[in-house]
Chain A
């Protein structure tokens, strides 16, 4: 167990979501753009069409700076933010898959050194040599995608790993194949957007401008159709029943699906338009398309994260960072059961015993001390997914913007006294996306006392929820 970082102004989980969304856009773009550029370059070489190199040069420079470097930075950002937000979750992944990540790192080195070589040698080295670089970029990028999907999909469907503890079983888990193919298909939608941005920047009347826009439209449409098809016919049916039930629960913020659908519709419309009317395509349309796509990715990635609730690794470790299942194959014993019996406080690193909490404040009353104890527990048990203090609320006027605030949830359910909250927490496992609270009755009572106080802190004036998520 580690210290808790709640976040500042923004909840720690939202930092992860924001950085991850950008990373998804950039990383998917690098892979599909590499294939698209390879396609263009092969035509340039085979048909001896020098003018296509102008597009490749513009695309490569933009990719080098935007997608590869910023994508890499956002990748590191995901490490940093997930580490700070939920260290034991990332620790489980690392201790299973560090050498898979090490393998991905090689692919990533190929990507980054490759794009430097690709850009700086364009027009300098022989055409066949440069075409080989394009191949290496496309293959290296696909390698990164293939490897990371194994790790990502493991979180939702660890499969046989839960019995045999073998990394290969966890990596090639039940949703690996549909997810890797689906992402591969959707990548081409993103790269179409990118190609439209680059191609619409070419001078009007440029020899290949319209053709590139048409190629982009066609390839993007194929990716979209294949991706949506895999979603409905293969990926979604493979999801565990628990995940499917959460998809239709209120755990998913209502705006999420409209965001995704808007992105899909915008993609279909923009790409069809590009295919049939390439001469009318404009840069502002392409940019708008990319923005809508980014919003849709945000929605889709949030769904992917939320349908795992209440676990970080489904069936193994919950969002409160406690192991709740044995893994005999790796000699791992669950922690939750023992802590339910003996209590959380004083029994995990960084969780002080109750009598050491708030000791510096000698004028504290028993009631205040109970609230202080409850604060420690609520932060530990609920803080990973919920706003549990004013620290991660953005407030203006009498309103606040928050991530799944417990104050808001209890107000909406009209449970605002400690007694009501206590009873509510006691049966919290009735929700499909919640585990039973870990700890003793006294600890639960302390949590309820703190939550009552937190509601009062939040609603000093009048309830006004604008950021219910």
Chain B
């Protein structure tokens, strides 16, 4: 059935490339999404405790949340594209079976973002008077995570789709049921990952700001220490809930040992990393983000393995997905990738370098690169018009 459901047009390039892009872009997406949940949770804790240092940091993290949500949404578009290219039967079946929540999802995220933004707009809510807003935002954002979790869990169980859609031969077109979920997996991927994303982000930001001449070293050292302590507490739980995930979902796909090994390695590895940063955690900020990115790649690959094994039971494989090489697509994407990566790199350089100094200095080298990147983006329109004219005139 799954093969029959695949789009007859096939993929426009090697399917395995889409799979790789799916993994890479999901890592970016999940970092920002869980980072938002983590910073939101921390703000609530800080507002509630009202310790001066905590409150100061909580106000900063409250302002971080909406930016992380925004970036989470933007980076989420790419995996959304690639998943439906090579896993279209899964994604579409899950979204129709859970239609109401799939559509409501975006309103939930909008609500969560708006409430988080309320704190941002009021500059982190002095003295934590907007605690309710932070709590409501966290609840909504977490609920959005739950919806995505259910969609994924539904998608990897094709054997149950028909019984969910038409129990007793009566079709259910409401899409309101949460058909499948695995609580340990959800806890592993959402709140615990949120803790670790936040810990790594906190250490990174402290390290970054510490380089400024007008920095407050005491506060930033303390902040990095907070990040490290969060990592130390959460990493073992991460491993434990990973094990629970292995024992709850693993047997269904014959992957108990595999998930368990991943969970143990991640739990111990991350704990060891945070433990070893006991002297000057602020100096390990960049390293912390790198290690965490690596851990997320491992998680992303693990998710892919589970999906592949689940679908393998129905002879569905990305490797067998039909495809053609559509050169128009390849040229458009290739050229835009070169231009896009250059411009985004320049933008990040501007944000990074201007934040390092009190007067917002951007190096001459970065400026030179910016001139080239801007020219490339301008030239992209020339390329676009030329290829458009060629297509309009000669591909009729």
Footprint of B on A, CB under 8 Å? 1-8, 12, 15, 19, 65, 68-70, 72-77, 79-81, 83-85, 87-88, 90-92, 94-103, 105-110, 112-114, 116-117, 120-121, 124-126, 129, 132-133, 135-136, 139-140, 142-143, 146, 159-160, 164, 166-169, 171-172, 176-177, 323, 327, 330-333, 349-350, 352, 356-361, 372, 375-376, 379, 383, 389, 391
Nearest 9 A/B pairs, CB to CB: A106-B340, A360-B168, A5-B99, A124-B360, A168-B328, A77-B106, A87-B92, A103-B336, A99-B329
Do residues A98 and B329 form an inter-chain contact, with CB atoms below 8 A?
yes
Q: In the complex, A361 Cα to B351 Cα: how many Å?
A: 64
Do residues A100 and B332 form an inter-chain contact, with CB atoms below 8 A?
yes
B297 at the A interface (CB under 8 A): no
Do residues B176 and A83 form an inter-chain contact, with CB atoms below 8 A?
no
Q: Tell whether A166 pairs with B85 under 8 Å between CB atoms, given A6-B174, A330-B9, A352-B169.
A: no
Q: Which of B258-266, B277-285, B303-311, B378-386 contacts A (4 or more CB under 8 A)?
A: B378-386
Q: In the complex, A160 Cα to B328 Cα: how many Å?
A: 14
Residues of B within 8 A of A113 (CB): 344, 347-348, 351
- A/B interface sample: 12 pairs, CB < 8 A: A69-B66, A76-B73, A98-B12, A101-B81, A103-B332, A106-B336, A120-B354, A143-B384, A169-B391, A171-B391, A352-B169, A359-B169
Q: Smallest distance from the beta carbon of A125 to chain B beta carbons, Å?
A: 5
Q: In the complex, A90 Cα to B13 Cα: how many Å?
A: 18
B302-359: which residues lie under 8 A (CB-CB) from chain A? 324, 326, 328-330, 332-333, 336-337, 339-341, 343-344, 346-348, 350-351, 354-355, 359
B91 at the A interface (CB under 8 A): yes
Q: In the complex, A68 Cα to B117 Cα: how many Å?
A: 14
Do residues B110 and A70 form an inter-chain contact, with CB atoms below 8 A?
yes
Do residues A139 and B348 form an inter-chain contact, with CB atoms below 8 A?
no
Residues of B within 8 A of A383 (CB): 173
B268 at the A interface (CB under 8 A): no
Extra inter-chain contacts (20) besides given A4-B96, A94-B88, A359-B169, CB under 8 Å: A5-B102, A8-B176, A69-B113, A77-B103, A77-B107, A83-B84, A91-B7, A91-B92, A102-B81, A106-B336, A110-B340, A110-B343, A120-B354, A124-B360, A126-B362, A129-B362, A168-B391, A169-B391, A350-B165, A357-B170
- From the candidates B106, B117, B354, name the one contacting A74 in the complex (CB within 8 A): B106
Do residues A87 and B328 form an inter-chain contact, with CB atoms below 8 A?
no
Question: B38-72 vs A: 1/0 string, CB under 8 Å?
Answer: 00000000000000000000000000001101110
- Prevailing SS type, chain B contact patch: helix
Q: Tell whether A79 pairs with B80 under 8 Å between CB atoms, given A68-B70, A331-B8, A358-B169.
A: yes
Do residues B169 and A109 form an inter-chain contact, with CB atoms below 8 A?
no
Q: Smallest distance from the beta carbon of A383 to chain B beta carbons, Å?
A: 7
Do residues A83 and B92 form an inter-chain contact, with CB atoms below 8 A?
yes
B250 at the A interface (CB under 8 A): no
CB nearest to B323 among chain A residues: A95
Do residues B350 and A117 form an inter-chain contact, with CB atoms below 8 A?
yes
Footprint of A on B, CB under 8 Å? 1, 4-5, 7-13, 18, 21, 66-67, 69-71, 73-74, 76-78, 80-82, 84-85, 88, 91-93, 95-97, 99-100, 102-103, 105-107, 109-110, 113, 117, 161-162, 165-171, 173-176, 324, 326, 328-330, 332-333, 336-337, 339-341, 343-344, 346-348, 350-351, 354-355, 359-362, 367, 370-371, 373-374, 377-378, 380-381, 384, 387-388, 391-392, 395-396
Q: Smallest distance from the beta carbon of A142 to chain B beta carbons, Å?
A: 7
Do residues A83 and B95 form an inter-chain contact, with CB atoms below 8 A?
yes
- From the candidates B103, B106, B350, name the one contacting A121 in the complex (CB within 8 A): B350
Residues of B within 8 A of A69 (CB): 66, 69-70, 73, 113
CB nearest to B85 among chain A residues: A98
Q: In the complex, A327 Cα to B324 Cα: how many Å?
A: 14
Q: Smallest distance from the beta carbon of B40 to chain A beta carbons, Å?
A: 16
Residues of B within 8 A of A142 (CB): 381
Q: Smallest distance from the beta carbon of B4 to chain A beta carbons, Å?
A: 6
Q: Smallest distance from the beta carbon of B53 to chain A beta carbons, Å?
A: 24
Q: In the complex, A357 Cα to B169 Cα: how many Å?
A: 4
Do residues B165 and A81 form an inter-chain contact, with CB atoms below 8 A?
no
Do residues B9 and A120 form an inter-chain contact, with CB atoms below 8 A?
no
Residues of A within 8 A of B71 (CB): 112
Q: Tell whether A2 pairs with B360 under 8 Å between CB atoms, given A84-B103, A100-B329, A159-B396.
A: no
Residues of B within 8 A of A94 (CB): 7, 81, 84-85, 88
- From the candidates A81, A110, A139, A349, name the one contacting B378 in the complex (CB within 8 A): A139
CB nearest to B110 among chain A residues: A73
Do residues B11 and A95 form an inter-chain contact, with CB atoms below 8 A?
yes
Q: Smallest distance from the beta carbon of B111 to chain A beta carbons, Å?
A: 10
- From the candidates A2, A6, A73, A166, name the one contacting B106 in the complex (CB within 8 A): A73
Q: In the complex, A109 Cα to B91 Cα: how many Å?
A: 24
CB nearest to A126 among chain B residues: B362
